[in-house]
Amino acid sequence: MAGLRPGGRFAVRPPGRRFAESGPARAGSPEDLPFGPPTGGMRRPVDRRRQLTRIGLVVSAMGVVVGLLALPFWAAAGLFAKASADHFLELPSDLVTPPLPQSSRILASDGSLIATLRGAENRQVVTGDKIPQIMREAIVSIEDARFYQHNGVDPQGVLRAAARNSEAGTTTQGGSTLTQQYVKNVLLQDATTTEERDAVAGDSLDRKLRELRYAVAIEQRFTKDEILERYLNIAYFGDGAYGVGTAAEHYFGVSIADVSLEQAALLAGLVQSPSRYDPVNHEEAAKERRNMVLTRMADENYISRTQADAARQMPIDVRRDQPEVQDSCEDSGAPFFCDYVRAQLRASPALGATAEERDRRIYEGGLVIQTTLNPQVQQAAQSAVDSAIPRDSRVSATEVVIQPGTGAVLGMAVNRTYGTDVAANQTVVPLPTLDKPDGPPFQPGSTFKTFTLAAALEQGYGVRTAYYSPACYETPAFPLERRTGDCRKGYQNADPAEVGIYDMGRATWDSVNTYFIQLEEEIGVPAVVEMATRLGVSPDHLKDIPSTKGDVTIGGEYVTPMDMAVSYATLAAGGIRCDPRFASSIVDSAGQALDVGVTPKCERVLSQGVADTVTSILAGVLTNGTGGNARFNHPAAGKTGTNDGFSSAWFVGYTPQIAAAVAVGDPNGAETNPLRNIAINGRTWPHVYGGDLPALIFGQSMRGALAGQPVQPLPAADPATARGTKGGRLMNTPPPAPTPTQPSLDNLIPGFGQGGGQGGTGQIPGLVLPGQQPQSGAAAGQGVQTGQSGRPTRPGAQPRSGQQGR
pLDDT confidence of 719, banded at 50, 70, 90? very high
Mean pLDDT score across all residues of the chain: 82
Could you tell me how many residues make up the chain?
806
pLDDT of residue 758: 37
Phi, psi of 184 (to 5 degrees): -60, -40
Q: Which long-range contacts (CB under 8 A, 24 or more apart) does 584-588 make?
A: 584/109, 584/370, 584/371, 584/372, 584/408, 585/368, 585/370, 586/367, 586/368, 586/369, 586/370, 587/367, 587/368, 588/361, 588/365, 588/366, 588/367
Q: Say if residue 83's pLDDT is above 60.
A: no
Handedness of CA 117, 121, 122, 123 (dihedral sign): negative
Which residues, 6+ apart, have CB-to-CB distance to 661 below 8 Å?
399, 400, 447, 561, 562, 563, 564, 565, 568, 650, 651, 652
650 and 441 in contact (C-beta within 8 Å)?
no
pLDDT confidence of 485, banded at 50, 70, 90? confident
Q: Does the predicted model carry a pTM greater than 0.85?
A: no
Handedness of CA 185, 187, 191, 197 (dihedral sign): negative
214 and 93 in contact (C-beta within 8 Å)?
yes
pLDDT confidence of 162, banded at 50, 70, 90? low
Going by C-alpha positions, the residue among 641, 654, 635, 609 that lies closest to residue 462 is 609
Going by C-alpha positions, the residue among 151, 145, 659 that lies closest to residue 408 is 659
SS3 annotation, 23-50: CCCCCCCHHHCCCCCCCCCCCCCCCHHH
Which of 66 and 191 is assigned the larger pLDDT?
A: 191
d(C-alpha 703, C-alpha 630), whole Å: 10
Per residue in 672-714, pLDDT (tens digit) is 999 999 999 889 999 999 999 999 999 999 999 999 999 999 9
d(C-alpha 366, C-alpha 117), whole Å: 9
Q: Say if residue 385's pLDDT is above 60.
A: yes
Per residue in 630-675, pLDDT (tens digit) is 999 999 999 999 998 999 999 999 999 999 999 999 999 999 999 9
Per residue in 88-134, pLDDT (tens digit) is 555 556 777 778 889 999 999 999 999 999 888 888 899 999 999 99
Q: Say if residue 73's pLDDT is above 50.
A: no
- Cα Rg for the chain, rounded, in angstroms? 38
Of the listed ranges 196-210, 488-502, 762-776, the least confidently predicted one is 762-776
